[in-house]
A and B are shown apart, each in its own frame.
Chain A
Amino acid sequence: MSVNDTAAGLPAVNGEARPSGRSAPRGWPKEWSRLGTASLLWFIAAAVTALWADADEWERTGEFASLLAVAGGVLAFAAPLAGRARQTAGGRLKGAAGRLSAAVPWLIVLAIGLIGWEILTAKLNLLPRPFFAPPQALLEVYLDDWPRLLDCLAASLTLLVTGYAIGAVLGVVTGVAIGWSRAVGYWVHPVLRLIGPLPATAWLPIAFFAFPSSWSASVFLIALATGVPVTILTWSGVAGVNSAFYDIARTLGASPRFLVLKVAVPAAMPHVFVGLFMGLGASFAVLVVAEMLGVKSGIGWYLQWAQGWAAYGNMYAALLVMALVCSGLVTLLFRVRDRLLAWQRGMLKW
């Protein structure tokens, strides 16, 4: 078995293009035409938006149409460039071209979806208002209300990162302590069993009452939601470490400190990351609930506020931002894991 072979077999860091089966020189005119189709559909979406009069007055219809046209234009330009890049260029440019061509089916479906959405809402008014907003209503929010949205985003991220970091650190420390020390396990395990399954949001009424501010209460709740899965998974990781790893280190003269920091913790890392991933999901849920019920800023608050004013366009716009941010954070976590756990094979892809 050669090292190079198996190294090549390692899962690629995500985002890297999968090599397509077709050879570049014969494939590229076909790719060109597929990208062209996508481009055409985006132009059609622009035309439908711009030329077909809205059933009701919508602001920013023109801007939305322009945006669609720009997307179509970019794709039209990219088509020949991508073909050439795959043929001649190497490295990064080729990778980008590969990614673009892999995204073509999505670009086509997305354009069709936008056309459908546009027609059903703005053009024909077939869906009940105000619950269904046309796409230009979202654009309107981003163009007109972005300072408030940005403020809320920053507030949410500050709250989330603070709570998550505290929860993650405490979770890892507690998990290692339970896994390592019988005495700690004796006292903490029953508490964890009782409190762990309880959703962190159940603490909400007490937390808002017991903490000096709703912000600190929310930090506590997010830390709790994050800490429980991280603790349990870290613990199970430490408990599951092959005992021969300890034997080896002990015969080589390792101190207990070395056994914890250099054997138990790295060996438990794959489990710790599962815990961090679960904790991240739980922290999103708590963040939104806490912001809807207590904290007077943040995306959760924005959602609530928008709904109160029946501003559904704002709500969808905020939801979209939130989805992107949450997904981005999970991606970030997986990137960190990929880097730290490169030694593992057969990792779950995100």
Chain B
Amino acid sequence: MVALETTDTAGMTIDVQVVSHGFELHGAPLPVLDGVDLRVEPGELVALLGPSGCGKSTLLRLIAGLEPPSRGSIFADGRPIGGPDPSRVVVFQDPTLYPWRTVRENVTLGLEARGLLRSHGHRVEQALDLVGLSGFARAYPHQLSGGMAQRAALARALVNDPRLLVLDEPLGKLDSLTRLAMQSELVELWRSKGFTGLLVTHDIEEALFMATRVIVFSERPARITADLTIDRPYPRHRGDPVLTELRHRILELLGLAETW
């Protein structure tokens, strides 16, 4: 893999302070987050794990600045988050590449939006190299496989040199083999780049294989029920007995221990 030139490798600190959030559904309030308190240190890769639809993705949207929280506040490097910012980039479950743009044009999106294409255009090739899509720069999204599309989405995020990479179940729709391969790729990327990572997943093994910390959420409205530090060296091994033991514990926390 080629190293992507970075200007500021330090990761971002994220401080979520007693955040509650809710929506309105058919006129009735629908609480989604309930007093979430979470501090993420620079360079951590934190997995947010919880049942489907519990509100993890909502928390990511708040951290990305796409919506303001109903109550509580969120700080990025000590400053309150007021809106989206290219230092905090999201990769969604769907690659959501723009179908009318080629892979390269998709990757340039962030630089183009900020008027940096001329000065930082060379980063596009580096980002494409980094995710192994150099040969597909001129392809359109509908010509890509699921894994390639998600790699392109990753390149589109990385080209902006984010200090926080927010991953919202980025591997959720991939086949299991591609998924395993990309878990390792993501870990390597994170280790080489030093950004702070937030990974929403409902795959316990994925969380344990990748993250330095696993935050377990309850059913909706989401509350933090456990905060586990995964103190195992990288590259990790899926058969690691410590990880297996942790997996058992998380299943217990999620109320699924009888399946062990």
- Residues on A close to B: CB < 8 A? 1, 3, 6-7, 242, 244-245, 247-255, 258, 262-263, 266-267, 269, 341-345
Q: A248 contacts B90, CB within 8 Å?
A: yes
B45 at the interface (CB under 8 A from A): no
Taking the closest CB of chain A, its distance from the CB of B102, in whole angstroms, is 8
B153's closest neighbor in chain A, by CB? A248
Contacting pair B145 A248 (CB below 8 A): no
In the complex, A3→B133 CA distance in Å? 12
In the complex, given contacts A251-B84, A267-B100, what are 6 additional A-B residue pairs having Cβ atoms less than 8 angstroms apart?
Answer: A247-B61, A248-B96, A248-B156, A251-B85, A252-B156, A343-B100
Shortest CB-to-CB span from B242 to chain A, Å, is 35
Q: When the two chains form their complex, are residues B100 and A250 in contact, meaning their CB atoms are under 8 A apart?
A: no
Q: B139 contacts the other chain (Cβ, under 8 Å)?
A: yes
Which residues of the partner chain A approach B90 to less than 8 Å between Cβ atoms?
A: 247-248, 251
Asked whether A269 lies within 8 Å of B100 as measured between CB atoms, the reply is yes
Given the known inter-chain contacts A252-B86, A252-B109, please indicate yes or no for A6 contacting B142, CB distance below 8 A: yes
B112 on the A face (CB < 8 A): yes
B140 close to A252 (CB less than 8 A) = no
CA–CA, A341 and B140, complex, Å: 11
Chain B residues whose C-beta falls within 8 Å of the C-beta of A262 in the assembled complex:
112-113
Residues of A within 8 A of B85 (CB): 251, 253
Residue of B nearest to A248 (CB): B96
Question: Is A266 a contact of B66 with CB atoms below 8 Å?
Answer: no
B68 within 8 A of A: no
CB nearest neighbor in B for A251: B84
B16 CB to nearest A CB, Å: 18
Footprint of A on B, CB under 8 Å?
61, 64-66, 83-86, 88-90, 92, 94, 96, 98-102, 109-110, 112-114, 136, 139-145, 156, 160
Q: Please indicate the chain A residues that have their CB under 8 angstroms from the CB of B61 in the complex.
A: 247
Task: A3 to B190: give the CA distance in the assembly, Å.
Answer: 29
What residues on A are CB-neighbors of B136 within 8 Å? 3
B-chain residues with CB within 8 Å of residue A269 when the two chains form the complex: 100
Instruction: State the CA gap A252–B65 with chains docked (Å).
Output: 11
Given A247-B66, A252-B86, A252-B110: A263 and B98 within 8 A (CB)? yes
Kindly state the separation between the CA atoms of A343 and B92 in the bound complex, as whole angstroms. Answer: 22
Q: Complex formed: what's the CA distance from A248 to B110 in Å?
A: 9
What are 17 of the A-B contact pairs (CB < 8 Å)?
Answer: A3-B143, A7-B139, A247-B96, A248-B90, A248-B92, A248-B109, A249-B113, A250-B66, A251-B64, A251-B66, A251-B85, A251-B88, A253-B113, A262-B113, A266-B101, A341-B100, A344-B99
Q: How many A-B residue pairs have CB under 8 A?
A: 81
Residues of chain B lying within 8 A (CB to CB) of residue A3: 136, 139, 143-144
Given the known A-B contacts A251-B88, A253-B86, are A245 and B98 also in contact in the complex, defined by CB atoms under 8 Å? yes
Residue of B nearest to A270 (CB): B100
Cβ–Cβ contact B98 & A255, under 8 A: no
Chain B residues with Cβ below 8 Å from A7 are 139, 143
Residues on the A chain within 8 Å of B84, using CB: 250-251, 253
CA gap between A69 and B86 in the complex, in Å: 72
Interchain CA distance A266-B88 in the complex, whole Å: 25
Tell me which residues across on chain A come within 8 A of B144, comparing CB atoms.
1, 3
Kindly list chain B residues whose C-beta atoms are within 8 Å of the C-beta of A245. 96, 98
Min Cβ gap A308→B in Å is 51
Tell me, in angstroms, the Cα distance from A262 to B105 when the chains sit together.
Answer: 11
Whether A345 pairs with B100 at a CB distance below 8 angstroms is: no
Indicate whether A1 sits within 8 Å of B100 (C-beta atoms), given known contacts A250-B84, A252-B113: no
Nearest B residue (CB) for A263: B98
- Within the complex, the shortest CB–CB distance from A130 to chain B, in Å, comes to 54
Query: Which of B84, B89, B100, B156 has the most chain A CB within a 10 Å cutoff?
Result: B100
A258 touches B99 (CB 8 A): no
CA distance A269 to B259 in the complex (A): 51
A253 touches B114 (CB 8 A): yes
A242 to B95, CA, bound (A): 12
Contacts of A248 in B (CB 8 A): 90, 92, 96, 109, 156
Contact A6 B143 (CB under 8 A): yes
Q: Which interface residue of A244, A251, A262, A343 has the most chain B CB atoms within 10 A?
A: A251
Interface contact A249-B96, CB-CB below 8 Å? no
Establish whether residues A1 and B113, one from each chain, have CB atoms under 8 Å apart when the complex forms: no
- Nearest A residue to B143 via CB reads A6
CB–CB B113/A254 < 8 A = yes
With beta carbons under 8 angstroms apart, the residue of B92, B100, B139, B142 that contacts A244 is B92
Q: Which residues of A contact B160 (CB under 8 A)?
A: 252-253
User: Can you name the residue of chain A whose Cβ is closest to the Cβ of B142?
Assistant: A345
Task: Give the CA-CA distance A255 to B98 in the complex, in Å.
Answer: 17
- Interchain residue pairs A-B with the least CB separation, the first 6: A252-B110, A254-B113, A253-B86, A250-B84, A251-B84, A253-B114
Question: Which residues from chain A contact B96 at a C-beta distance below 8 Å?
Answer: 242, 244-245, 247-248
CA distance A6 to B84 in the complex (A): 36
Distance of A250 Cα from B82 Cα, bound (Å):
13
Other-chain contact of B143, A1, A250, A253 (Cβ < 8 Å): A1
Query: Which chain B residue shows the least CB distance to A254?
Result: B113
Which of the listed residues B84, B136, B140, B143 has the most CB atoms from chain A within 10 Å of its own CB? B143
CA distance A248 to B159 in the complex (A): 14
Docked-complex contact A343 and B142, CB < 8 angstroms: yes
